[in-house]
Amino acid sequence: MRRADWVRAAYDGALYLASPLIWRRIWRESVPTRPRGERLGLIPARPPGPRLWVHAASVGEVVTAAPLIRALLARHPEADLVVTTMTATGAARVESLFGTEVSHHFLPLDFPGATRRFLARLAPTLAIIAETELWPNLLHACAAHGVPVAIANGRLSDGAFRTYRRFATLSRDMLRHVDWIGAKAPADAERFRALGCPDARVEVTGALKFDLQVDARLREESERLRTTWGRRFVWVAGSTHPGEEEAVLAAHARVCRRYPEALLVLVPRHPQRFEAVAELCRARGERVARRSRGEAPGAGTRVLLGDTMGELMHFYAAADAAFVGGSLVAVGGHNLLEPAAVGTPVLSGPHLDNLREIAATLAEARARREVADAEALAEALIQLFDDDAARRRLGEAGRAVVDANRGALARTLGAVSARFERALAGPAGA
């Protein structure tokens, strides 16, 4: 028995011991219309035929993978395209973006039997993992069923790299089953190689996030929103976390002392926190309009709670400035390119470990302003609202960065399509 097999057996043992806690978490992370048995690989068996399987763990990965999924639908209309997620919010985003164009299932827990059952019933021709969510038994099952695996927009933060390296044998064995990695940046590629992935299987493709689509429908909806909100300064605090909403509301109170008509559109990252954030706003003395209830923010309303899914880009496009959350607290930051792509000035905190290269690219182009706390956030917003030309320059610089760095989608699509076609051809085409 190989050392890697012993290590995976130990991993399985730890997984079974922790299964009550794991199942408790998954029990909450569900959708009423979807059986929880999917977490054990109990999905309907799909008919034979060409099949692309894209795994995107949660909302962020779904948004990142969306341009690739659309491109795959266009290039391979003959293929059945299935998307899996780990979270219910990810599932909701898949449905809002693609409707019935794709099928969705929850990814099974990484138990050996569940992953084998899932692969046998799904029978994919090619597996594509968005960003990096590597599960030992899932990848082992892919190899056992002859399913090639590609990683698109592959990234490894410093923390993730240290964790994988701590379990070097297991990590090396996992990567042995990966056929191709499209790394987001050279640093990510080096980390994958350091974990044992052969050089020939790693390619730097760039960040898929730069290939955001800004279509006419988004523009029309944002203009409609802006008309509804009226002639007032509007800023968005998107994808916020606990500890950030307090800072955002404090900053807004200070902004309103100079611009009493200013409107904050506050969009918490996780929908299960919508009620708590609404209560926090009321406790701070704010009258809150709820987007989910169709409430328009009148002249006396200074906060609109964006408690819906799939509208953040519309809010960014309709705003005068945007603060991107997960960055004033040690979360690692969220998608800075969404406001940049629509030409809205980008503000963030200093905690940007999840997107170092993107953050640096924006900073070098003077397309992002960094703030350390509520006071600095308020000051930056007031400066932008005071200076129309500076606000316009910052927004245009962000849009220019996005436009200049597009191309990862074409490189990723080419590599993935080649492997899909090779897998369809079978051994003779290998």
Q: DSSP alpha helices (H): ranges in 319-407?
A: 337-341, 356-364, 374-386, 388-404
CA distances from 299 to 228, 238, 262, 334, 424 (A): 11, 22, 9, 31, 60
How many Å apart are CA 401 and CA 340, to the nearest integer? 8
End-to-end Cα separation, the chain, in angstroms: 30
Q: Which amino acid is at 164?
A: Y
- Closest Cα to residue 22, out of 96, 107, 99? 107
Q: How many CB atoms lie within 10 A of CB 1?
A: 6
CB-based contacts of 69, cutoff 8 Å, min separation 6: 54, 81, 83, 97, 98, 102
Q: DSSP alpha helices (H): ranges in 260-304?
A: 274-283
CB-based contacts of 9, cutoff 8 Å, min separation 6: none
Kind plus residue range of the DSSP H or E element containing 175 = helix 168-176
- Closest Cα to residue 7, out of 198, 174, 146? 174
How many Å apart are CA 69 and CA 82, to the nearest integer? 10
Q: Got the DSSP string for 27-39?
A: HHS--TTS-GGGG
- 347 strand-pairing partners: 323, 369
Kind plus residue range of the DSSP H or E element containing 139 = helix 136-144
338 is catalytic: no
Task: Pick the catalytic residue from 61, 131, 244, 311.
Answer: 61
Token representation of residue 263 = 């409107």
Q: What is the DSSP letter of 46?
A: P
- Closest Cα to residue 105, out of 36, 12, 22? 36
- Which residues are catalytically annotated? 61
